Amino acid sequence: MRNLVFLLALVATTALASDTDIRQSIESRFPGTKVSDINKSVLPSIYEVVMESQQGPMVAYTDDKGRYVMVGDLLDIKTERNFTRERMDKLTEVKFDSLPLNQAIKVVKGDGKRRLAVFSDLDCPYCKKLEAELAKVDNVTIYTFLYPLPMHPDAPRKSKQIWCSKDRAAAWNDYMQKGKLPTGKGDCDNPIDENLALGAKLRIDGTPAMVFTNGKRIPGYMPAARLDDMLNTAEKAR
């Protein structure tokens, strides 16, 4: 019994020493980066390290001293699992029901049972491509958060005009599909600043950015067939 206690204490001390070495090594070599979690990976003697920076969470792999660092996806080619992607999905997960949906343009298609949130900049070319694909998807409720990026200086004004329209959904579709902007000053109460603050909190630095009801977030454009599959997967996970 005594020997067992000694061995357990030795293992715990070794693990603690490894964590300390890894944390000190990485944080000293990458200023502004904070190591938030360290775990053994599926590979012998290799540790998974979660780092937090201004750009968001990042997963890397290192030895027990933090001397050698590998960045990239860790794959199991037999089971086709991507351990890095699974970890990142968990780290960037968004609780859908925590989103302030009243700050988004709501469009219900078909039975509207499936739900999707999209952060979109109306002057973003890929956002317009995504809208064309979303038009092919049925039985979904889409919440569009107007999210003008700094690279499009006129996007905030246009976003406010659309939000202040009598029919926001129609105004959004007219602009994204036909380039037709509604008349009006766009001087009503609007959530554009709140949306920008929300996006910054969620570390959304590009558009389009989609959030599914299972918490999964996807940056960028996606074809309709893939969107449909992901909506179904998210619905089953609820």
* Residue at which a domain ends, from 65, 91, 117: 91
Where does the pLDDT of residue 201 fall: very low under 50, low under 70, confident under 90, or very high at 90 and above?
confident
Residues 220 and 132 in one domain: yes
Residues 227 and 138 in one domain: yes
Where does the pLDDT of residue 94 fall: very low under 50, low under 70, confident under 90, or very high at 90 and above?
confident
**CA-based radius of gyration for the chain:** 23
In tens, the pLDDT along 37-81 reads 999 999 998 999 998 877 678 899 999 888 899 999 999 999 999
> What is the mean predicted confidence (pLDDT) over 169-194?
92
**Phi and psi (nearest 5°) for 103?**
-95, 10
Helix 168-178 vs helix 125-134: crossing angle, to nearest 10 = 110
> What is the mean predicted confidence (pLDDT) over 178-193?
90
Residues 64 and 156 in one domain: no
Residues 14 and 108 in one domain: no
Residues 83 and 17 in one domain: yes
* Residue at which a domain ends, from 91, 123, 152: 91
Six token digits for residue 50:
């979660």
> What is the mean predicted confidence (pLDDT) over 144-168?
95
CB 193 within 8 A of CB 160: no
Residues 110 and 69 in one domain: no
Q: Mean pLDDT across the chain, nearest whole number?
A: 88
Distance CA 49, CA 38 (A): 5
Residues 103 and 87 in one domain: no
Residues 61 and 111 in one domain: no
**End-to-end CA, the chain:** 47
Six token digits for residue 122:
């109306």
Distance of CA 184 to the CA centre of its chain: 33
Domain span at 220:
96-237
Residues 43 and 156 in one domain: no
Q: How many domains does the chain have?
A: 2
Claim: this prediction has a pTM higher than 0.85: no
Residues 102 and 77 in one domain: no
Residues 67 and 83 in one domain: yes
In tens, the pLDDT along 124-140 reads 999 999 999 999 999 99
Closest by CA position to 121, among listed 221, 223, 186, 208: 208
Q: Is 111 helix (H, G, I), strand (E, B) or coil?
A: coil
Residue 61: C-alpha distances to residues 5, 73, 177 (Å): 31, 10, 45
Where does the pLDDT of residue 1 fall: very low under 50, low under 70, confident under 90, or very high at 90 and above?
very low
Work out the burial of residue 3: count CB atoms within 10 Å of its CB; fewer than 13 is exposed, 13-18 middle, 19 or more buried.
exposed
Residues 6 or more apart whose CB falls under 8 angstroms from that of 181 comprise 158, 161, 162, 174, 175
Residues 207 and 162 in one domain: yes
Q: What is the CATH number of the domain that holds 227?
A: 3.40.30.10
**Residue type at 79 in one-letter notation:** T
* Residue at which a domain ends, from 38, 72, 91: 91
Q: What is the CATH number of the domain that holds 21?
A: 3.10.450.70
**Phi and psi (nearest 5°) for 81?**
-85, 140
Report the pLDDT value the prediction gives residue 47, as an integer from 0 to 100: 93
Distance CA 121, CA 119 (A): 7
